[in-house]
Amino acid sequence: MQVESDGFVFLDAGGVVLALSTAHARLATPPDGATEVVFGVANVTAAHHALSARGVEFLNAPRNVTGDQ
């Protein structure tokens, strides 16, 4: 285990980090099949702009999140 915080745990799986969260369990109606894929980059804003410029479409712009969001 790498990190544990309120509602989150990050597990080191040998080159891949698996993050487990209870965030959706707290919703009145949890979404079916909720999946989130995260890639680590040095600068999120720059990566978002570069990918957008290459035609990648995003549902939302990058934002800061904590364990309660």
pLDDT in tens, 3-23: 666 777 888 888 877 888 777
Q: What is the pLDDT of residue 5?
A: 65
Check residue 55 and give its pLDDT.
96
**Whole-angstrom distance, CA of residue 66 vs CA of residue 12:** 20
The dihedral over CA atoms of 68, 38, 34, 12, expressed in degrees to the nearest 10, equals -80
What is the rounded CA–CA span in Å between residue 22 and residue 48? 27
What sign results for the dihedral spanned by CA atoms 20, 30, 59, 35? positive
Tell me the mean pLDDT in the region 15-38: 74
Percent of the chain with pLDDT over 90: 20
Reported as a single tens digit per residue, the pLDDT across 37-48 is 777 788 989 999
CA distance 69 to 67: 6
Residue-averaged pLDDT of the chain:
78
